[in-house]
Amino acid sequence: MLPEPQSPSTHLREGDLSDAELAVELAGTAGRTLLELRAGVGNLPTDEVKKRGDEAAQQVLAAGLAQARPRDAVLSEEAVDDAARLDAARVWIIDPLDGTREYSEGRSDWAVHVALWEAGALVAGAVALPGLGTVLTTEPAAVVPSRDGAAPLRMAVSRSRPPAIATGVAEALGADLVAMGSAGFKVAAVVRGEADLYVHGGGQYEWDSAAPVAVAMAAGLHASRLDGSPLRYNQPDPYLPDLVVCRPEVAEQVLTAIERVQRDVQ
């Protein structure tokens, strides 16, 4: 039998925590729930592990937000979208389990995303990295480690299906590829100084990047669409297919390389 999911922060009350503190609390609680659940799965098929993980983390986040921010709207990968969010002043954008494949395989490179959009911008967020026992947040913002400017750039890239744009840009920059799992984990790698950039083209939605981008921008990193335009959230269609996150001192170099690679393939 699987362990019951951890109680979804039943102690939470409206107004007890700031938005950033609430994001940390919820992402951390969901992460601990996922670790406990995975520890008890035995020999269940990986698809069942993914399904139970998604459901358990969604339950934690949805219940916590309902208790602590009952008037806010929510956009989640694991819930039916409600168009009422488009008229809401505040919308929580969450991905209960980013990297279900890595989670089901017992790896550490997966994440839990909790972000708050308000009046057109991401204003708070947290990315839990349960496999590493840490949560990155917007307040206090992370301090990005310095890098050796003479060393090759390091690009976080999918370990299973790196997009052509990423490999093309890596080649143009002479960057070393650092393979890892989920999108949130890759952005976190740039925040944590284990990579210098992350370039993605195609196949993402708002919940894949909202919390990681909030955390990255709070830490002073560059985050935009591949053409350098701003990332916009709480849109009618939550499909937000491309993303670049990088250290600010290399942003111009990275965006120029992206433009050149995209032009060459047309």
Single residue among 110, 137, 164 that ends a domain in this structure: 137
Do 130 and 25 lie in one domain? The reply is yes
129 and 179 co-located in one domain: no
Task: Collect all residues with Cβ–Cβ distance below 8 Å to 249 and sequence separation of at least 6.
Answer: none
**120 and 161, same domain (yes or no):** no
Alpha-carbon distance of 115 to 104, in angstroms, equals 24
Task: Based on the fold, state whether residues 159 and 203 are members of the same structural domain.
Answer: yes
Residues 173 and 117 in one domain: no
Rounded Cα distance, 176 and 63, in Å: 42
Does residue 100 sit in the same domain as residue 210? no
Cα Rg, the chain, nearest whole Å = 18
- Whether residues 190 and 224 fall in one domain: yes
Confirm whether 1 is domain-assigned.
no
Is position 12 within any domain? no
Using the 3D structure, point to which of 104, 137, 170 is the last residue of a domain.
Answer: 137
* 75, β-bridge pairs: 93
Question: Does the residue 149 lie in any domain?
Answer: no
The SS3 assignment for 162 reads coil
Please determine, for residue 3, whether its predicted confidence score (pLDDT) is greater than 60: no
Claim to verify: residue 23 and residue 125 sit in the same structural domain: yes
Q: Does the pLDDT at position 218 exceed 50?
A: yes
9: in domain: no
Of 86-90, 200-204, 262-266, which one has max mean pLDDT?
Answer: 86-90
Residue numbers in the known binding site for Mg(2+) are 77, 95, 97-98, 208
- Give domain status of residue 164, yes or no: yes
Give yes or no: residues 88 and 184 share one domain. no
How many CA atoms, within 13 angstroms, populate the side-chain half-sphere of residue 127? Answer: 35
Percent of all residues in the chain with a pLDDT value above 70, rounded to a whole number: 96
DSSP 8-class letter at 122: E
Q: Is 177 within a domain?
A: yes
Task: Indicate whether 254 belongs to any domain.
Answer: yes
Q: Is the pLDDT of residue 182 over 70?
A: yes
Q: What is the CATH number of the domain that holds 110?
A: 3.30.540.10
Shared domain check, 179 and 130: no
Residue 49 CA to residue 142 CA, distance in Å, equals 32
Can you tell me whether residue 90 is helix, strand or coil?
strand
Annotated binding site: 77, 95, 97-98, 208
- Structural domain count of the chain: 2
Secondary structure of residue 65 in the 3-state scheme? helix
Distance of alpha carbon 85 from alpha carbon 91, whole angstroms? 7
pLDDT at residue 45, as a whole number: 93
User: For 233, left (φ over 0), alpha (ψ -120 to 50), or beta?
Assistant: beta
Q: Which two tokens stand for residue 229?
A: 């335009």
Residue written as token pair 């100084």 = 193
Number of CB atoms found within 10 A of residue 4's CB: 11
The predicted structure's pLDDT at residue 5: 47
Domain with residue 241: its CATH number is 3.40.190.80
Residue 146 falls within a domain, yes or no?
A: no
Q: Report pTM.
A: 0.94
Which residues constitute the domain of residue 217?
A: 154-265
Asked which of 85, 107, 137 is the last residue of a domain, the reply is 137
Are 170 and 103 in a shared domain? Answer: no
**pLDDT digit string (tens) for 104-136?**
999 999 999 999 999 999 999 999 999 999 999
On whether both 91 and 172 belong to a single domain, the answer is no
